[in-house]
């Protein structure tokens, strides 16, 4: 029977394998700090589960044990989407362990997590978006708020992407902005006329070096995502938009409106910076909902009896 010392050595082996994989994500894959924290949290749960059951080596993890882990996570009340995210992190680790000879086979192959109901993102319609972005430009703060909202809606940026922008990333003459997206991948996104005008007015009042943050915070560094989220929520309430407004809602609205007008799913994928078109396809469901409402309201045989 293994003694306490061997259990410590085994747990050290789990920690060493996990640390090596996270270093791979950080150095080779250049994952963001947010992504690294999520992987560390999800894979830490698997590591703790294995340790509690005396499975102190990654090589001892088989398909039955992984299924039991997923079932336990679901049984203790973790939401299906969270279980799926946790399982996705496990798959990435196990594929890496197999590639490096720690595992003979990938125990996650063919394993599916619990299904979660597909929730379509809420969006603002064109009138609500117009109401939101047309904030008063009374003073430097108003100019900044208007420029920020117009750029969100014009270019479909993530809040982290907007916060990371520097002045040099913005080309007002060319109507473009260079964005550093997920996986530290760069993409060029168009900037519409209204956003260009709002940004030009804002920048005229805020002279700074090209390398300076486009939207600085109080300390002079980039504004934080939390500060942007809070400000967007305040502006929505002030403008009388009573939906739960947050930066990602503006991104959803951008994608839905562009797809509704163009029908170009691949183009929307490129604009949003999605690695897979499957992620973008959720907006086709939103587009269909819009068409269904038009149909229900217009077709004489579609109307229900009262």
Q: Which residues are catalytic?
A: 158, 182, 248, 251, 274, 283
Burial of residue 221 (CB within 10 Å: 0-12, 13-18, 19+) is exposed
Phi then psi for 275, rounded to 5 degrees? -70, -35
Asked whether the beta carbons of 248 and 201 are under 8 A apart, the reply is no
- Residue 87 to residue 69: CA distance in whole angstroms: 9
Asked whether the beta carbons of 153 and 252 are under 8 A apart, the reply is no
- Residue 223 to residue 220: CA distance in whole angstroms: 8
- The pair of structure tokens assigned to 241 is 């938009």
Map tokens 């999520």 to a residue. 38
The H or E element that residue 177 is part of is strand 176-180
Alpha helix ranges (H) inside 3-125: 4-23, 33-52, 63-75, 80-99
- Which residues are CB-neighbours of 144 under 8 A, at least 6 positions away? 202, 206, 215
With H, G, I as helix, E, B as strand and everything else as coil, classify residue 294. Answer: helix
- Residue 254 to residue 244: CA distance in whole angstroms: 16
Asked whether the beta carbons of 133 and 146 are under 8 A apart, the reply is yes
- Which residues are CB-neighbours of 267 under 8 A, at least 6 positions away? 258
- The pair of structure tokens assigned to 134 is 């047309």
């Amino acid at each position: 029977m293994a003694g306490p010392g061997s259990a410590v050595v085994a747990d050290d082996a789990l920690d060493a394998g996990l640390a090596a994989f996270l270093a791979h994500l950080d150095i080779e894959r250049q994952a963001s700090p947010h992504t690294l924290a999520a992987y560390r949290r999800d894979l830490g749960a698997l590591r703790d589960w294995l340790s509690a059951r005396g499975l102190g080596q990654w090589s001892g993890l088989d398909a039955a044990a992984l299924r039991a882990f997923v079932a336990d996570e679901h049984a203790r009340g973790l939401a299906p989407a969270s279980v799926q995210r946790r399982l996705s992190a496990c798959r990435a680790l196990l594929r890496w362990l197999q590639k490096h000879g720690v595992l003979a086979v990938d125990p996650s192959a063919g394993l599916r997590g619990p299904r979660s109901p597909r929730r379509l993102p809420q969006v603002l319609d064109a009138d609500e978006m117009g109401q939101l972005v047309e904030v008063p430009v009374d003073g430097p703060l108003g100019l900044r708020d208007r420029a920020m909202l117009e750029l969100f809606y014009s270019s479909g940026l993530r809040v982290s992407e907007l916060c990371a922008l520097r002045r040099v990333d913005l080309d007002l003459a060319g109507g473009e902005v260079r964005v550093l997206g997920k996986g530290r991948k760069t993409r060029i996104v168009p900037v519409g006329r209204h956003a260009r005008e709002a940004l030009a007015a804002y920048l005229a009042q805020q002279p700074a070096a090209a390398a300076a943050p486009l939207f600085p915070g109080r300390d002079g560094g980039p504004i934080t995502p939390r500060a942007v989220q809070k400000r967007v929520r305040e502006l929505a309430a002030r403008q009388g938009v009573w939906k739960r407004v947050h930066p990602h809602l503006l991104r959803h609205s951008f994608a839905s409106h562009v797809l509704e007008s163009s029908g170009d799913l691949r183009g929307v994928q490129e604009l949003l910076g999605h690695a897979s078109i499957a992620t973008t396809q959720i907006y086709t469901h939103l587009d269909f909902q819009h068409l269904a409402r038009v149909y229900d309201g217009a077709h004489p045989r579609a109307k229900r009896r009262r």
